[in-house]
Chains A and B, each alone.
Chain A
Amino acid sequence: MSPHGNPEAPASSATEINREAPKASPKPQEHTDHAWGLWEVFVRSSRGLSHVHAGSLHAPDAAMALRNARDLYTRRNEGVSIWVVPADAIAASDPDSKGAFFESPQGKDYRHATYYTKSEGVKHL
């Protein structure tokens, strides 16, 4: 079960109110320093075609994450649509394998169209 709870069990939001009762935390969680899970927020601006990562926030569940995202990231008319994703649902590339992951295209100019010379007789390229 993810640390973000689920809408059926909003208890995690309430445990936070009573800070003196840490016993209410049912199981050890990845974000142990925080009762609420971490969510990544993606906002589509009115001019943009796709959702763009805007930042992250804490929320007890998806419904509250959307509302918190609205308050945090669309105060200045930035968005027309919001996605929220539990942060640990995102698999990220390893920053330490940058070389193997991202630097192998270096020197492979032939992967770019500009590498090739225009063939004779092709007029409108």
Chain B
Amino acid sequence: MSEANASATRITPGNALRPEDIALEVRTGLAKPSEDTAEYALRLGDDALILAQRLGHWISRAPELEEDIALGNIALDQLGHARSLLSYAGGAMVNDDGSAKSEDDLAYFRREHEFRSVQLFEQPNGDFAATIARQFVVSYYQFLLYSRLTESKDATLAAIAAKAVKEVDYHRDHAAQWVLRLAGGTEESRKRMIHGFRIMWPYVEELFRDDDLTGRLAEAGIAVAPSSLKEDFDRLTGEVLTEAGLEVPDVPAAPGGGRQGRHSEHLGYILAEMQVLAREHPGASW
């Protein structure tokens, strides 16, 4: 996806940073992430990419046409974040021929253990309520993360976050509206909403785990320490759950390990579908 196809038909209000702009900055050396920063961008980018792929599966399958488009929009927003973050991460990673890795190199030509997304993002869509449960957790997490990341000392990360936070704010609202409606709907919808939260909640804990990398980067004012988001996350999601008459599920945390490349059995299938075209026809454009 080169900058050639970037602008003509696209209205880009304001001065939001587009993935094409970041790719160009990386290629021309204007933006150069440190190895740590690139790894951090890769983590967040993989989260967004895997979620986009998951949500994209709803297209043509959502309960209503309108919801089909809503989920498709959210998927595309996530894909946009992934493109920006991966384009930036690629600036510190080189191909065999010495060139910087592009968003496509990273999305299509890495293997399962090289993906750094946490396991919540790869969890199956399940029914609509399960997808909403996952989306509810994800969008509150991402909203808090990107809100704080707008103050990052890394200008590119701050710019990506500034664009993303507006979009994620809407995702948060969308998910919360549905949690309220499903929980307050029929007996069946409430049952499914509760079930959705029960199967997604084991993966919540992993979102807020610190490690050496986030420790170093948070110290430097570049990243947000994941654990520092937990209190606000609990408070904000708790408000909605209380309004919906739901409780935080009492379920044990999953082992996690996505940031180290340890994934649940689901990611391999996602990647197989996502990567097959690019791998079967290397260099193809469409």
Q: Which residues of A contact B (CB under 8 A)?
A: 10-11, 13-18, 21, 24, 36, 57-60, 63-64, 67-68, 70-72, 75-77
Contacts and interface: CB of A to CB of B under 8 A. Distances in A.
Interface stretch (B32-40, B134-142, B184-192, B255-263): B184-192
A38 to B, nearest CB: 11
Interchain residue pairs A-B with the least CB separation, the first 4: A14-B185, A14-B189, A68-B66, A10-B181
Nearest to A34: B64
Given A13-B182, A15-B185, A70-B170, 6 more contacts: A14-B186, A14-B190, A17-B185, A57-B66, A67-B173, A71-B73
A106 B66 CA distance: 43
B182 A76 contact: no
Contacts of B188: 14, 17-18, 21
A17 B189 contact: yes
A58 B62 CA distance: 14
B237 to A, nearest CB: 19
A88 to B, nearest CB: 18
Q: Is the interface of B mostly helix, strand, loop or mixed?
A: helix
A11 B64 CA distance: 15
A70 B67 CA distance: 12
17 contacts: A10-B180, A10-B185, A13-B189, A15-B185, A15-B189, A16-B64, A17-B127, A17-B186, A17-B192, A57-B66, A58-B66, A60-B181, A63-B177, A67-B174, A68-B70, A70-B170, A71-B69
Q: Chain B CB within 10 Å — which of A13, A36, A70 has the most?
A: A13
Contact of B64 (A14, A24, A58): A58
B139 to A, nearest CB: 14
A14 B66 contact: no
A75 B185 contact: no
A13 B73 contact: no
Nearest to B188: A18
Contacts of A64: 177, 181
B169 to A, nearest CB: 12
A57 B64 CA distance: 10
Contacts of B69: 68, 71-72
A21 B192 CA distance: 14
Contacts of A18: 186, 188-189
Contacts of A16: 63-64
B73 A15 contact: no
